[in-house]
Amino acid sequence: MSVKRVIADRLEKAREFADSVRAVYEDAYSKADELRKGGGNELIKEIHPAVKTTLEGGYQRAQTALDDFNQSLADKAIPSFRKSAVSREQLEQKAKGAQKKSVKGKTKASQQKNGSSSSKATQSVRSKK
């Protein structure tokens, strides 16, 4: 075999390889183009519910785990002898807050009531003049 024949054979093999790569590339490109044009929407419609369900379930599990972890940290942060005092303080603070809201609500209601009756009296005095 001559050098010329060896090089020609190698060039032929390279050309065949390039043709096979080109064919695979063209096939992949046409499939990608089909997905882009509308096939992707169908694929998304098929996958979307399953992915959404999976993500929601994972989110809920993660939230539950973080809530449990947070509660555990809170339980460890407050010594047991302080827990009853802390809960008592919280109840007292809530009661004071409720009393303040109640007093504010009564004050506003009486102001509105007095304001409307005094304006009526003013109107009646003006109409008599």
Give the domain range for residue 45. 1-77
47 and 6 within one domain: yes
Is the same domain home to 95 and 72? no
Per the structure, the count of domains in the chain is: 2
Assess whether 91 and 110 both reside in one domain. Answer: yes
Q: Over the chain (129 residues), what is each successive 10-residue block's mean pLDDT?
A: 85 92 90 73 74 84 89 78 73 82 66 55 50
The answer to whether the pTM exceeds 0.75 is no
CA 88 to chain centroid: 35
Q: Is 15 in the same domain as 63?
A: yes
**In this structure, are 67 and 123 located in the same domain?**
no
